Amino acid sequence: MLQKSTKIITTVSDRRCGVDFIRSLFEAGMNVVRMNSAHLGEEGITSIVRNCREVSPRIGIMIDTKGPEIRTTTNEDPEGKLAFREGMLVQFSGNTTGRTSLRIINLNYPDIARDVRQGQHILIDDGELDFEILSVDSDSGLIAARCLNDGELGSRKSVNIPGSDIRLPALTDRDRATLAVAARLGVDFVAHSFVRSADDIHAVQAELDALGSDMKIIAKIENQQGVDNFDSILEASYGIMVARGDLGIEVPAARIPVIQHEMISKCIATHHPVIVATQMLHSMITNPRPTRAEISDIASAVYQRADCLMLSGETANGRYPVEAVRTMAGVACEVERSLTATTTADNIPQLADAHVTSFLARQAVVSEREIGTKAIIANALHGRTARFIASFRGSCPVYAICYRRRTMRWLSISYGIKAYYYKDYYTCAQRYPLDALRDFIDQGLLTPDDRIAVLGALNGTGATFLEINAVQAILDNAR
């Protein structure tokens, strides 16, 4: 596996999730497997989790919820498509059980007429069809609209209404069932879709608490409300996914690069992992080589220092899944080498808070440039100290010593962290990971003369001390 700092998430379908396939993705550079619950039942989720665990206990596993999503209902001909033409008049309705036709498009949201107004646009199937609302009849619940372009509509397609305040509940019944299965199987992350405010995150957390699960919540930002309420969403979440697909429909396309950059910067400053997603290597679903624009897109996200990049259809159903992972990993490595060559103590991110752990983490990262530190070692109870180190985006290896496999997987989406599991290792008295240091020497990761930075705790809560010393000196002094 390439020694990159930027992590890679790959989407896997239950139709292609064998052990050999997952191992090939892992060896190509994948760190986390994502499951899309919209296309999976309990059996499929179980198969993917089981096979991931067989390949490696290091692989993080993430599952998406559907969230407050609007879709069209099934067409009159479930397998057929409806051909709309520019200028056609059509009605929209919240009749959740009605079939969709050229005359009336039914949606899975009964109160749709309450949340839209004249002049707004209804975009269907990722914006492939665009309808302008002409009038809204609140009594009948019918919406009159004009089609603005030619296009075909299949069954149960996504619906976006930019500028609307959709009041769907944060979690559907299907989401609750998905979370129950994921909690039972020990899934590591839940990526909640269409997050509108911190209240949506609190609703997911309450459900996880009721299930007794410590899954970490990733907020998917993919609508204008999520952008508007980003700061409070960030505070409530473990991490953020910049989900550029639906986001690019909800907000002007020219704003997406700016929003991406701003979100990444805020996540880094507050020590939250951040994922950039959607169509990063879309052409590789059918082609063995990416476009130059896709390579530049990946490079831009790495230059912006995103923790993770995500592949969706490229690995879920594409013809070249392993090649896509290798391509993404190769670009990340090249860009990271460029960044390392230009890194100085001055351009390592400054402190954005007054945490002692944050201060010590930055000094550990700075020590590489100032005094030649070869690695940073951090004890990881829940992974907080390691995440703080990651946020300063150093270039020397960061080894997190975890005493729970769960913590090791939580760190699979944090930039530059290489997590190792040592069973029953952690105690407050055992401040130095001596067994790990000996193993790192045996594996050739360190030499006895290497100077390293060790972050540890005297009281078990966050880093409270930083020692910089030679590996052999640490081993000798601990005897």
List residues with catalytic annotation: 34, 71, 220, 278
**Alpha helix segments (H runs only) across 292-354:** 292-303, 313-316, 321-342
Going by the DSSP 8-state scheme, the letter that residue 319 receives in this structure is S
Backbone angles phi, psi at 332, to 5 degrees: -60, -45
Q: What are the C-alpha distances in Å from 367 to residues 116, 178, 372, 395, 451?
A: 56, 45, 6, 11, 10
User: Contact at 8 Å (CB) between 396 and 375?
Assistant: yes
Calculate the alpha carbon distances from 416 to 173, 387, 412 in Å. 37, 10, 9
Cα–Cα distance, 329 to 29 (Å, whole number)? 6
- Identity (one letter) of the amino acid at 301? A
Q: Which DSSP category does 308 fall into? A: E
The long-range contacts involving 256-259, CB below 8 angstroms and separated by at least 24 positions, are 257/300, 259/227
Tell me how far apart the alpha carbons of residues 71 and 457 are, in angstroms, rounded to a whole number. Answer: 50
CA distance 361 to 343: 17
Positive/negative CA dihedral, 175, 177, 178, 183 = positive
